Amino acid sequence: MNFFYCKNCLMPSTRPRITFDEEGICNGCDWAKKKTTCIDWEARWKELEQLCNKYRCTDGTNWDVIVPCSGGKDSYSIAWSLKNRLDMHPLLVKVSAHIPTTVGDKNMRNLADQGFDLIEITPNMRTYCALTKRAIIEQGRPQQVFETAITTAILKIAVSFKIPFIMYGEEGESEYGGKMDMAEKASKNRNWIVETYFSGVDTMSYESDGVEKKDLKWWAFPRQDELDEMGICYTHWSYFQDWNHLMHYESAKKMGFQPVTSLSVEDGVVGFGTYTDYTSLDDPYMRTFNTYLMFLKFGFGRGSHEASSDIKRGIITREEGIKLAKKYDSYDCIHFREKLLERFEMSRKDWDQMVDRWANRAILEKTDGRWQLRKELHYALDINNYADIGKGS
Ligand SMILES: [Zn+2]
């Protein structure tokens, strides 16, 4: 099995569902180029206006669109546009972070100060933690249970409040290099969501030792016919507007969004795991933990992920991105590992076993007790850009 990188960004061939063209360019980069050349964004915006016209509540009796919201820069920007440019009445819905931060809470509260209605769903923490611990051990996916809830719990609110229009942020598969079949479609269905976002794991399988059906109300996924009956429109902002995280950051700052400086002071953590100071501030610990597992399994981490977006946007060069990837990708959560162990009732031995279990030995090697990308692969593939790594993991 050959291991190689996209010749434009830093995504490796081990990334799930990625594809490459004959020039060695990944589908995420290909899509980034198409977005500037082939997509009629004016027509897409008109499509959005029509959708808003279809769902808008004009008599003041209800909200008309749900914005799943972490309190991050993207949800700020989307909520503002829906309200002020499209005359909608958004209800912002957040699923609680496992380990909240002061700056994340402030950014969320500030949205209410800016005139938005918010709901925060805090699941039963015993169930939330038990399910997450299982996902860490069995799938190596610390955010699997949270990511499921930001679909299923949001749908529960949509059904309960009779708001069939749901506007997410970016569609990550097409945006970052994955399945492309939904890049050209405005609305997603249940099967596609289970297959793509939940890695084929339906929420019904969560019911097992110690977790009963009654504990899973926030993870109960309605059937497709129930969603059809309600006329659900489950869509992403990135379908209607070229996804530009820096533009969102600039507009969020105008609304009082705070970057990481507060996090470092008030939460006792200096920027870790990445070079940006404005991403995943509501739950940086779990986000960084999740990307560490991604690094162990596939050989790319949060540095590569964020640098690849910036390379595609022309904000940094590939060479600058490689330096950032080398610096941040193998960051092993050392500054907040104790928080994670406490949250999920794991011992240090459990942690070490979990890390060693997920480390992909075909691409990683352990140096000074820490898993690193093997030296011959370490982004030094510009020369011949592939290496035989045997069968992989
Ligand atoms: Zn690429």
In angstroms, what is the span from residue 177 Cα to ligand 1's centroid?
7
Query: What's the CA gap between 205 and 151, in Å, rounded?
Result: 16
Q: Which tens digits make up the pLDDT trace of 19-56?
A: 999 999 999 999 888 888 888 999 999 999 999 999 99
Q: Which of 208, 240, 272 is the last residue of a domain?
A: 240
Q: Which tens digits make up the pLDDT trace of 71-95?
A: 788 899 999 999 999 999 999 999 9
In angstroms, what is the span from residue 273 Cα to ligand 1's centroid?
21
pLDDT score at 383? 46
In angstroms, what is the span from residue 226 Cα to ligand 1's centroid?
38
In a domain, 362, yes or no: yes
Looking at the structure, tell me whether residues 236 and 312 fall in a common domain. Answer: no
Looking at the structure, tell me whether residues 340 and 373 fall in a common domain. Answer: yes
Q: Which of 174, 207, 240 is the last residue of a domain?
A: 240
Looking at the structure, tell me whether residues 120 and 235 fall in a common domain. Answer: yes
In a domain, 22, yes or no: no
Q: Which of 171, 205, 240 is the last residue of a domain?
A: 240
Q: Which tens digits make up the pLDDT trace of 188-213?
A: 677 777 777 777 777 767 777 678 88
Q: Which tens digits make up the pLDDT trace of 244-277?
A: 887 888 888 898 888 766 455 455 555 566 767 6
pLDDT higher than threshold 90 for residue 342:
yes
Looking at the structure, tell me whether residues 54 and 176 fall in a common domain. Answer: yes
pLDDT score at 60? 92
What totals of helices (H) and strands (E) does the chain contain, helices first? 17, 9
pLDDT higher than threshold 50 for residue 392:
no
pLDDT score at 368? 85
Query: What's the CA gap between 319 and 301, in Å, rounded?
Result: 17
Looking at the structure, tell me whether residues 179 and 273 fall in a common domain. Answer: no
Looking at the structure, tell me whether residues 219 and 97 fall in a common domain. Answer: yes
* Among 255, 245, 242, residue whose Cα is nearest residue 279: 245
Looking at the structure, tell me whether residues 225 and 267 fall in a common domain. Answer: no
> Mean pLDDT for the chain?
85
Looking at the structure, tell me whether residues 56 and 176 fall in a common domain. Answer: yes
List the domain range (segments joined by +) for residue 116.
Answer: 41-240
Looking at the structure, tell me whether residues 278 and 171 fall in a common domain. Answer: no
Looking at the structure, tell me whether residues 62 and 162 fall in a common domain. Answer: yes
CB atoms within 10 A of CB 28: 25
Whether 8 and 318 have beta carbons less than 8 Å apart is answered as yes
In angstroms, what is the span from residue 17 Cα to ligand 1's centroid?
13
Is residue 233 helix, strand or coil?
strand
| Token output for 193 | 């969501």
Whether 293 and 330 have beta carbons less than 8 Å apart is answered as no
In angstroms, what is the span from residue 19 Cα to ligand 1's centroid?
9
Question: According to DSSP H, which parts of 217-317 are helical?
Answer: 224-230, 237-240, 245-254, 261-266, 284-298, 302-312
What one-character DSSP code corresponds to residue 278? S
R_g of the chain computed on alpha carbons: 21
Query: What's the CA gap between 73 and 155, in Å, rounded?
Result: 23
DSSP string, 72-86: SHHHHHHHHHHHHTS
Query: What's the CA gap between 343 and 97, in Å, rounded?
Result: 12
In a domain, 212, yes or no: yes
In a domain, 9, yes or no: yes
In a domain, 122, yes or no: yes
First to last CA, the chain: 10
In angstroms, what is the span from residue 262 Cα to ligand 1's centroid?
33
In a domain, 76, yes or no: yes
Query: What's the CA gap between 187 and 63, in Å, rounded?
Result: 20
CB atoms within 10 A of CB 233: 18
